[in-house]
Amino acid sequence: MTEPSTFDFCPWLFWDHATDEDRRAQERHLEELRARVDIDAAGKVFVSPLAAVYAGSLRMGDHCYIAAHAYVTDDIVMGDDCTINPYAVVRGNVVLGDAVRVGAHTSLLGFNHSTAPDRPVFRQPITSKGIRIGDDVWIGSNVVVLDGVTIGDHAVVGAGAVVTKDVPAWAMVAGNPARPIRDRRTPSTPAPSRPAPDLEERLAAFAARAREQAADVLGRCWTGERYVDRPDAPPTVRAWCDAVEIADLLLDGPPPTPAREEIVAFLRDRQDPDTGLVPELGAEGTPELEGVTAYHVLCVGYALDLLGTRFEHPVRAVHDLTSKDLTAALDALDWDRQAWTSGSVVDAIGTGLYRNLAGFGLRGDLETLYGWLLTRCRQTHGMWGEPDADAGWLMVVNGFYRLTRGTYAQFGLPLPYPERAVDTVLAQAADPRYFGPGTGNACNVLDVIHPLWLLGRQTRHRRAEGEAWAREHLVRALGGWQDGAGLSFALSRGSGAQRTPGLQGTEMWLAIIWLLADHLGVSGALGYRPRGIHRPEPAIHLPAR
């Protein structure tokens, strides 16, 4: 039996991450298919050896894939950039245009039985009108499309729909039977108000200045052997990761020093093979899922992504947790007094589960994690934990950012109580202790804007207030750049480590500035888009079992 690989279940990773041996194995599999199937595969394609492909003819355009446990028979035509995801069924006479996405567990059934009463159904003749799907069509998971249906260009079919009639171009449909929801060209909510043009000009000027000085910012923190956060600071694992993120944003590649291979070797060699965790430099003993070691699951994993590789070992400290152990560990966290710390642990657990799934095909106990989160989220304020008499909503909102970053945002899932969560975030955003004159740091601003940005994808509740806050803090952040040094963690005036420009402050504020700008609809002026820890797209969509 063929052993499953990451690419069987995450085939979109194949073209960027496959080794030479992976590519040779895929070519051998395609040759085996050609021996028994009339297959015409143009350009780059991937067909999982775990897929059941018994088509009479199969035509695959460039950058198409068929994932594990898909069932494909009869006569199938796929244009360019088409994807058939795990457990999908495509049978009969089915023609896909370009850029068609077929979700997991979906069935495209381009044939039918007659139903005359004179004999059992299984003895009835088979008929086939075929299914025709246009260009740029997204068909969600668990959809059924019946024989004779045509789906027009640019349409979207919602998860779980049963499509019995033709779908017009640009239509968004859902339900059983599928019914139109709206035209895809019509926004579901009003577009955000556009800030004045001068803000876009300032964004473009800021980004150009940062790009020109990026090499100097990185060189300032390279000792000749190690990256440090700022001159005279001790070397840390995170400093290497921040350097990689900054270089990717501003230089569109790895840091100029040292060579990419040296950076990859340094980061991969830090991982403990038994636990899969990455301890701090010089740390002794078995690493545990807490503090800076927990954060390294995020920053090292995403830095390796940006460098075109991945962890050498699974994050077993997460994968080996039983359902009972995971529930006990989450219950034991101090959500009432340390919601930020608790949220950071959930972030590391969620990210460890993602790393194991994307890199090693190990699912882990995602159901227990999301079940716990859904049942423990406070309906009254949309978050986990309770406000503190001294700190107010600070810990709760900061913990909300960390928790949702590694779970809901990373896996592309909707949040449970978005309007109540917006209310809570805006209450924190109005607290003068953290956002008054002379105050404010990267963590506190990030922990407000990322939730506002993420929740804004689900609701426009109190949108104008959030945009006003974003504009105020964006203008302030754009004035924080220091030539040749970057940005400090705290933008308030004064001395000390937090007010000295360094890699951490620069990496965080570059992402924050993008989020603030994107919430206002003007991030395009920056000319960069985060691809690491702060990437706006889900890293992976949670697959069904």
- What are the backbone angles phi and psi of residue 71, rounded to the nearest 5°? -125, 110
Q: Within a 10 A sphere around the Cβ of 437, how many other Cβ atoms?
A: 7
DSSP assignment of 128-197 equals: ---EEE-SSEEE-TT-EE-TT-EE-TT-EE-TT-EE-S-B-TTEEEETTTTEEEEETTS-SSPPPPPPPH
The residue with tokens 């006990």 is 328
Question: Residue 429 — left, alpha, or beta (φ > 0 → left; ψ -120 to 50 → alpha)?
Answer: alpha
Helices (H) and strands (E) in the chain, counts: 18, 19
For the chain, how many residues are written? 545
Of 6, 83, 75, 87, the C-alpha closest to 37 is 75
Cis peptide before 11 (omega within 30 of 0): no
Q: How far apart are CA 128 and CA 147, in angstroms?
A: 7
Of 497, 522, 512, 540, the C-alpha closest to 203 is 522
For 440, the token pair is 């404010």
Considering 17, 29, 113, 541, which one is annotated as catalytic?
Answer: 113
Residues 6+ apart with CB under 8 A from 379: 416, 417, 420
What residues form DSSP beta bridges with 94?
76, 131
Three-class secondary structure assignment of 380-427? CCCCCCCCECCCECHHHHHHHHHHHHHHHHHHCCCCCCHHHHHHHHHH
CA distances from 513 to 277, 360, 422, 475, 522 (A): 30, 34, 20, 9, 11
Torsion of CA 509, 511, 515, 517, to 10 degrees: 70
Of 336, 332, 370, the C-alpha closest to 350 is 370
Pairing of strands 83-84, 100-102: parallel
Q: How far apart are CA 517 and CA 512, in angstroms?
A: 8
Residues 221 and 230: beta-carbon distance below 8 Å: yes
Asked about 63 being catalytic, the answer comes back as no
- What are the backbone angles phi and psi of residue 377, rounded to the nearest 5°? -65, 130
For the chain, the first-to-last Cα distance in angstroms comes to 20
Residues annotated as catalytic are 113
